[in-house]
Structure formats: C-alpha cells, structure tokens
A and B are shown apart, each in its own frame.
Chain A
Amino acid sequence: AQKVTQAQTEISVVEKEDVTLDCVYETRDTTYYLFWYKQPPSGELVFLIRRNSFDEQNEISGRYSWNFQKSTSSFNFTITASQVVDSAVYFCALSEAVRGSTLGRLYFGRGTQLTVWP
C-alpha cells in the first residue's frame, strides 16, 4: 500500500487561479515528517517545506500555503494566484524514523503535474 497518495495526477489551471494539491499519507509512527518538493521541467528537485507530526499549524510563505490535518492524515498544498512559473511536478513525501534516527526512510507520492496556462 502506498504510504503517500497524491490522487491528482495532473491539474491544469489558468494564471491567477488558486490551486490546491492534495496529499494523504499513512503511517503508524507518532513521530514523522512531511515534505513538499517541486520538480520544474529542468529536472532538479527543490525543497519547499517540512512539517513535523507535532506541529499542526498551517503555514504560509508568500503565495504558498500548507494545511496539515492529522485527523484526516492530509497535508495539502495551495498556490494562490498561480503563475506560469509554478508549472512543475509537485511531490509530497513522508519520513519515518528508523534505528533511532529521526530521519529514516523517505516515501514519495507519485507526484502531481501542475500546468499553469497564461
């Protein structure tokens, strides 16, 4: 079973629209970390955010915001007033501790391809 599910394979929006990328995760650990990464067409992976399991505060960074809800095991990502440069594949990821290390295996979702049209 997938530990991280990104049900939206592809999303297309027109510039200035708001868009939310969904992420649902599965873990039995009480301590874990959630991440979002961006992969633009150039192929590199860009870190966007980390959230630990004890911090359910939502976070806003410019046009980006994240909604973490443990009750629904979701960590959704919203881009407000989307721009063409936001076009990329976005990955959600989950890290579980292993061997006493805080950071262990990192599981990625399959990604959501976001296309923003001008």
Chain B
Amino acid sequence: NAGVTQTPKFQVLKTGQSMTLQCAQDMNHEYMSWYRQDPGMGLRLIHYSVGAGITDQGEVPNGYNVSRSTTEDFPLRLLSAAPSQTSVYFCASTVTSGGSYEQYFGPGTRLTVT
C-alpha cells in the first residue's frame, strides 16, 4: 500500500494561473478530504467527499473545485490562483463506517502563488 499520495510536492504559480493538485489513495477509503494549513490557523477543511460522485464544501471552499469520479482519486483544482492561496495543502482519506476513523494524510503540497 502506498497510502495517500500527493503530487506535486512543491509548486510555484503566478497569479491567475490554474492547476490541479493530485491526490490518490489505494486503501479503498470512501471518505477523502482536502485541507490547507496556514501559520497559526491549524488545518482548515476545503472540500470533502464521502464517496465517488459525492462532494461537499468545507470551511474555506472559495477558489477551489473538486470532483470524485473514482474511489481512489480526489483532485483539487485552482481555477485562477491568488496569493491568498499560498499554503500547504494536505489530502486525507479514511473509512466512513467502522474502524478508528483515523485520517490518513498525504505528505502535503507546498504551493506558492506570486
């Protein structure tokens, strides 16, 4: 098992550019989510999904889109990057029933928008 993988690890964008942060898991977890981590703010939920075809907004969804066409993948799209989106992004997955509900986190993507 590779667990939760995220690509890229680092990215620099210019304001207005678009990009997709990739997230994949091979544990057959129904639940996947995206967080951003900013200094002094903890982790804030951007979007989450409880299964293929189902997504929902978290605390800070503006400027981000997601889709969940398969159980394994949960990409996060920035349509028009802004400096306020400079952050570290974490993807996570877990089961939605039974188990410990431990969220398995990816290694993170450090994004800088200039």
Task: Please list the residues of chain A having a beta carbon within 8 angstroms of any beta carbon in chain B.
Answer: 6, 9, 33, 35, 37, 43-45, 47, 50, 91, 93, 95, 98-99, 101-111
Contacts and interface: CB of A to CB of B under 8 A. Distances in A.
Contacts of B103: 35, 37, 45, 47, 106
A104 B105 CA distance: 16
- Chain B interface category by residue count: 20 to 34
Given A45-B90, A98-B56, A110-B40, A103 B101 contact: yes
Interface of B: 31, 33, 35, 40-45, 48, 50, 54, 56, 58-59, 88, 90, 92, 94-97, 100-105, 107-108
B101 A102 contact: yes
B50 A98 contact: yes
B50 A44 contact: no
Given A91-B43, A108-B43, A111-B42, A101 B50 contact: yes
B96 A102 contact: yes
